Every structure is written in C-alpha cells, then in structure tokens.
Amino acid sequence: MDLVASTPRIPEIGETILGTKLDEIPGGKGANQAVSARQAGGKTWMFGKIGRDSYGKYLKENLTKFDIDLEFLIEDEDEDTGTAVISVDEKGNNSIIVIPGANSKLSAGDIEKKQDNLNKFDMMLLQLEIPEETVLKAVDTAAENNIMVVLDPAPVFKLPESIYKKVDIITPNTTEAEQLTGIKVEDEESMNKAADYFLKRGVKIVILTLGSKGLFVKTKKESFTVPGLKVNAVDTTAAGDCFTGTFAAVYDGSNLKEAVEWANTGAAISTTKMGAQTSIPDKEEIKKFLENIKEDK
C-alpha cells in the first residue's frame, strides 16, 4: 500500500515542511506491474505475499477488480502488508521509502511449493522487492520451464552474475544500471558499455530507461533509442512499473520496437495522474495516445 504525501517540494534532511494532502493508494512494484500488464491486454497472475490485515484485504480486492488471477497470492498471518511512504512534489518528482512487510517473507520455499503449476506461463516478470533467494529460485524455475524472464532490478541490489544467463530481458534505470555494472551511465558511449555488460553475461535484450529522456534498447543484433514523450507530469511514482508491465503484455518475441513504443507511451500517460495503480492506462488509452502522436507528425 502506498501512503502518498503531496508536498510543494521534497524536504531536505532535518527539515519539516507542510504537505497538502495524504492519500492511501494501492501500490507495490509487483502489483503495479501486474495491473499494467493486465490493463495492456495480458492475462495476468500475481505471485506475492500480503498480510492478513486491512491493507492486504484492500489490495486483494483491488487486484480482483482488475481481473488479475490471485491463485498464487499468499496471506501471511504474522507480517503486515508491505507499505511505501512516498513524497510527491509539485513537479511530479518523488522520494520513496519501502517497508517490505510480508513481501520480505515470500520465500524460495513458496516458489517450490507452486512450481508444478508454473509451466502454464509464457513469461515471468520479476522485481527486487522480494528476497534475493526468492528471486534466484523464481529465475531457476522459469528457466527449467522455458518461461521468458523479464527482470526489473529495483529496488536494486547486487545480483550474482550467474543469474543473467537465465534472464531474457532486463529493464534498469540509469542508477540501477550503474550499481549493477559499475559504469556511470551519462551518455551514448556509457549506455552502450552498460548494455554490453548484461549482453556479455547472457541477457538477450537490455532496455535502459532514461526517465523523461526516453529509452535505450540494445540486443546483440541492434540498438536504438526511443525519445521521451512530452506530457504534463504530476506524479512519476509508477512510471517504471507501468513501462515494464505494459512491455511484458505487448511483447511477443518478435515485435521489440512496437512493444517498447507502447510501453514508453503507457509510462508517459501514467505520470499525468496521481498515484500508482490509479494512474495506469488501459490498452485503448495507449492506442489513442499513439494515434494522436502520428496525426500530429
């Protein structure tokens, strides 16, 4: 659950400022990505863990509203539902503190108990709000079942290099790419070097998200950039999640440029609305936005 404080600006260390309002909005990286994938037209299952509390109940009801299958959503009797405390300034910039709660209790054992039921999936979308051992087990299970793996390495922590040969697509932002590769991403040369780091270790597609500047995409055969879209941003909280979830729903293994364009558009639209899951556009909204762009050219 996201606790979102709207404020004129992000406070400095030791500073107290007045905010304008506080909202409770469904969030969480995995849930945001699941909603984004479903909104973009993908059949979606959510594998995660929530607390048996009011936030957990609310999040469960919200996912059901989006027609997301909750077969793999586990309730933990001992842990509270994960929360994020978010400050959003007048320009849409944010700072976020995540309290994992039940997310931190999603274990490799939970994956193992369900692994016989995972072979029906075409794609597994992962992020790092769950423990490292759980991420590694999920990736191993996907590889054993020939399931495509999309990894959003956030909140970032150093991963064992052996994981990359089992990851098909990785979607770091520049900060995450720097922490994973040791390469400061600031220009075209460094973007290529960071992308090559992942490609040399087995990743098939690298998508560096550049915020309002767009994207840099590289495979062993090609590389290209996608410019950012000009929108009136009010909250960037779920933009990265919206991008990754939308991409996962649209990408079919052969339409990389189209999927990236759709995901980039969905992420841009999400920044024009407050909140995480409340900001995520559906397929028709993305399609209409793209049509308007083409008409303006």
126/37 Cα distance (integer angstroms): 13
Question: Which of helix, strand or coil describes residue 131?
Answer: coil
Question: Which of helix, strand or coil describes residue 125?
Answer: strand
2 is catalytic: no
Catalytic choice (241, 252, 282, 296): 241
Residues 6+ apart with CB under 8 A from 252: 259
96/275 Cα distance (integer angstroms): 13
- Report CA-CA distances (Å) from 297 to 13, 290, 292: 45, 11, 9
Strands 83-88 and 73-76: unpaired
Kindly state the tokens that stand for 126: 């992962």
6/134 Cα distance (integer angstroms): 34
- Report CA-CA distances (Å) from 64 to 68, 134, 152, 226: 6, 24, 24, 34
25/75 Cα distance (integer angstroms): 20
154/156 Cα distance (integer angstroms): 4
CA atoms in the 13 A half-sphere facing the CB of 214: 16
86/83 Cα distance (integer angstroms): 10
Which residues are designated catalytic? 241
